[in-house]
Structures are given as C-alpha cells and as structure tokens.
C-alpha cells in the first residue's frame, strides 16, 4: 500500500498568518488560517480535514463490513463533527461525533446498529484517532 502525503506552509504569526495545505495527489490545495480554525473565517483548517477523512473512511469501512455480512448498501452518508476547544493554555480536539444515515435493503435495525458500531471500531481513521472520544449515531433509512 502506498504512503500518502500532504504539505503545509505557514507564513507569519498564528493569528494574522496564513497558510496553504496541499495533498500529494494534488486533489487539495487550500488556504488555511487561524480565523478558519477558531472562528468563522474563510479557508479550511486541520479539524475540517480530519472530519472529512473520518467521514470518508467510516463510510467505506461500513460498506465493507456490510458487504462481508451479505448486505449491499444503496447509500451511506456520514458527517463527522470534530470539536476543537480551548483547554488550559492550549487547544485540543475534544471529541468526534459520527452521524451516519444509510439505505441498506434487507437489513433489520439491530443488525444495522451492530455493523455500524463494528465499522466505527474498525475504521482506520477511528483507530488513529482513538485517543479522542468518538460517538456514533446511526440511522437506517427505509
């Protein structure tokens, strides 16, 4: 398996500075700022990118686990909410809430919930972020 890369360039001090985040594939080349991270400024931020990675990874892991159990998903839509908060003298990612809604023909809710939880526990990004509390709300769409 390949190793994935991303680069960050930051210019200036924390509050007034600006930066650029770029993925090795070239799929992303985005500005980021402190205001985008701590307020409602333009650009992206590390937490938003973590949320995107987690939502994408979880949806893929859930699809894989469903397939292994004999189910084929029509759709899996996941939102990851990454909380960034002041803690002591610094900041921390304090929790991640995964919210998923999926349309899976032929599955009952108990099996759906069990497999959704397995996906949360088995998702590689969930494993990488395991030091942070991760919650899951899974809704079966009928």
Same domain, 61 and 96: yes
Domain that residue 18 falls in: 6-38
Q: What is the dihedral of CA 62, 66, 72, 75, to 10 degrees?
A: -20
Per-residue model confidence as pLDDT tens digits over 41-94: 888 999 999 999 999 999 999 999 999 999 999 999 999 999 999 999 999 999
Residues 19-28 have a mean pLDDT of: 95
Asked whether residue 79 is domain-assigned, the answer is yes
Q: What share of the chain is helix, strand, coil (3-state, %, to 5)?
A: 35, 35, 30
Asked whether residue 19 is domain-assigned, the answer is yes
Residues 118-138 have a mean pLDDT of: 97
Residues 6-27 have a mean pLDDT of: 96
Same domain, 115 and 61: yes
pLDDT of residue 1 exceeding 90, the answer is no
A 10 A CB-CB count for 70 gives: 8
Q: Which two tokens stand for residue 94?
A: 């304090």
pTM for this entry: 0.94
DSSP, collapsed to helix, strand or coil, labels residue 9 as: strand
The DSSP output letter for 141 is -
């Amino acid at each position: 398996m390949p190793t994935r890369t991303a680069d960050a360039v930051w210019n200036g001090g924390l509050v007034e500075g600006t930066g650029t985040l770029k993925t090795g594939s070239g799929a992303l080349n985005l500005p980021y700022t402190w205001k985008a991270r701590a307020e409602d400024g333009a650009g992206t931020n590390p937490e938003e990118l973590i949320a995107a990675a987690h939502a994408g990874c979880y949806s893929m892991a859930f699809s894989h686990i469903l397939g292994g159990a004999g189910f084929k998903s029509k759709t899996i839509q996941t939102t990851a909410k990454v909380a960034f908060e002041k803690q002591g003298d610094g900041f921390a990612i304090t929790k991640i809430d995964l919210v998923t809604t999926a349309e899976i023909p032929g599955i009952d809710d108990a099996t759906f919930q069990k497999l959704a939880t397995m996906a949360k526990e088995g998702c590689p990004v969930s494993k990488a972020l395991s030091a942070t509390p991760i919650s899951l709300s899974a809704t079966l769409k009928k």
